Homo-oligomer: A and B are copies of this chain.
Amino acid sequence: MKFSNLRQRFGRGIETTAEREEEDLGLGNKIARKPGTRLINPDGTFNVIRRGRSVFAPYQNLVEMSWPRFIILNLLAYTACNLLFALGFYLIGTDHLNGVRGGLTNWGKFLECFYFSIQTFTTVGYGAIAPISAASNTLAALLALLGWVSLALVTGLFFARFSRPTRMVIFSERAIYAPYRNGLPSLQFRIANKRDTNLINLTARVVLTWLEDGDGDLKRHFHPLSLERDFVSLFPLNWTIVHPIDPASPMHGWTKADYCQRFSELLVTIEGYDRTFAQQITIHKSYTYGEMEWNVRFGPMYHEREATTELYLSRISATVAVGEEE
């Protein structure tokens, strides 16, 4: 108990079978009991929809929305804001602006105001058009300040989006059911690091979840899987994560059919420290029974050259049928 406590304190939430037979990650046993529903989507997000009490979190939204949406949004805001100020200058009157050509239609005048507004907003300020009255100067002063701030905010957002850690870890497409030591079978999947030394101190955690009849109605079960190795300090090559299906394993004695009938799903959490961004990174991934492959083993992923080692990332999912190259 003390130790499980202890372990929890690490903000890592690693549990091992030894400590808590059943654990539910805080999800409860009533979630997603519709057969075939997956808990974690392929992209690592949860298969949950939130309703009501809309969240106002502009920053997160702006940082997380798609690039096209973000750019369009910016262009719209940029235009809208300048149209507004253009209107302002137009209402003040173009005679307050020096350099506006004579003999223009109202629309033409408005356009001139619009262009002037943009030139001020972006602080380009050609001066071909320039404010000459108190009114126009004051408005321009406000506009320039607003421009500075909003453009800087926009570029700050650009940078924040741009500098977010890219997902550098690739997973094998499928988890495999492969023979292990002394006759035991095992569940395996493997990951690799797309780049050189940015990830260190990786921890892996795998929880099996499945549906089962508990007194009448379906209950969702969760069971952490003990791993042959759940930590690597360096990650220059690939890492195959192995759960030996020993008597202690919840899958002990399961037939291939069981995996399907129980709608089993492997919930994977990989944690590590990204040195480029100097932050802790957490990656969620799940393998459903449909994403498992049987009686194969992973093929080699790297090859020794003369004075170095070559890692072939494209081989991450490469498997060979058991019995071959035995």
Q: Which of B47, B127, B312, B316 contacts A125 (CB 8 A)?
A: B127
Chain A residues bordering chain B, tally (CB within 8 A): 135
Given A34-B307, A153-B155, A197-B284, do A14 and B5 touch, yes or no (CB 8 Å)? Answer: yes
A233–B134 CB distance below 8 A: no
Q: How far is the CA of A14 from the CA of B133 in the complex (A)?
A: 65
Instruction: Tell me the nearest residue of chain B to A44, going by C-beta.
Output: B197
1/0 contact string of A229-243 vs chain B (CB within 8 Å)? 111111111010000
Q: What are the residues of chain B within 8 A of A111 when measuring CB–CB?
A: 134, 137
Q: Which of B118, B134, B205, B233 contacts A141 (CB 8 A)?
A: B118
Q: What are the residues of chain B within 8 A of A198 when measuring CB–CB?
A: 60
A191 smallest CB distance to B (angstroms): 11
B233–A25 CB distance below 8 A: yes
Instruction: Tell me the nearest residue of chain B to A156, going by C-beta.
Output: B159
Given A26-B239, A31-B302, do A149 and B158 touch, yes or no (CB 8 Å)? Answer: yes
CB neighbors of B among A233-261 (8 A) = 233-237, 239
The reply on A8 being an interface residue by CB < 8 A is: yes
CB neighbors of B among A269-326 (8 A) = 269, 271-273, 275-280, 282, 284, 302, 304-316
Q: How far is the CA of A50 from the CA of B239 in the complex (A)?
A: 15
Q: Which of B137, B304, B314 contacts A34 (CB 8 A)?
A: B304
The reply on A132 being an interface residue by CB < 8 A is: yes
Instruction: Tell me the nearest residue of chain B to A118, going by C-beta.
Output: B141
The reply on A36 being an interface residue by CB < 8 A is: yes
Given A123-B122, A141-B118, do A313 and B53 touch, yes or no (CB 8 Å)? Answer: yes
A252 smallest CB distance to B (angstroms): 20
Given A26-B232, A282-B275, do A126 and B127 touch, yes or no (CB 8 Å)? Answer: yes
22 interchain pairs, CB-CB under 8 A = A2-B18, A5-B16, A8-B203, A9-B14, A25-B232, A25-B234, A26-B202, A27-B236, A27-B237, A31-B302, A50-B311, A51-B312, A53-B313, A55-B194, A60-B166, A111-B137, A118-B141, A122-B123, A125-B125, A126-B126, A153-B158, A155-B156
